[in-house]
């Protein structure tokens, strides 16, 4: 069974940066497109970013474009989310997800999900 595990969350000040990682096990990492989603208290799940299996195509949500960067290292079975210029409204649980080659914004496309990692942006 495919398993995803996120890491790197925590507390960061507004304007700061944070990098999240996600590792896949139980499958061949390069067969999957990878996505990042987030969910804040009282809000619905929001698409953040996604990357194609070979890393040559990416997709970003409106709130992430220009500030966040998604990348992957297939040799290490890992996907990353570099977050810069963080704002309090970025506070949420961030989830890593895997799809079969698609990089869509609809969470229903994704077959596997990690447990989530908390990101808190506060002074």
Per-residue tokens: 80: 């990353």
Report the C-alpha gap between 11 and 4 in whole angstroms: 22
Report the C-alpha gap between 14 and 61 in whole angstroms: 20
pLDDT value for 101:
72
Low-confidence ranges of the chain (pLDDT < 70): none
Report the C-alpha gap between 47 and 82 in whole angstroms: 15
């Amino acid at each position: 069974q495919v398993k995803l595990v996120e890491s790197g969350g925590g507390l960061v000040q507004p304007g700061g940066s944070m990098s999240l990682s996600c590792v896949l096990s139980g499958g061949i990492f390069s067969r999957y497109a990878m996505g990042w989603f987030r969910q804040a208290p009282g809000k619905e799940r929001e698409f953040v970013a996604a990357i194609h299996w070979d890393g040559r195509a990416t997709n970003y949500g409106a709130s992430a474009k220009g500030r966040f960067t998604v990348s992957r290292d297939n040799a290490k079975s890992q996907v990353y989310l570099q977050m810069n210029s963080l704002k309090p409204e970025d506070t949420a649980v961030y989830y890593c997800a895997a799809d079969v080659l698609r990089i869509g914004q609809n969470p229903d496309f994704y077959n596997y999900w990690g447990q989530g990692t908390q990101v808190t942006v506060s002074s």
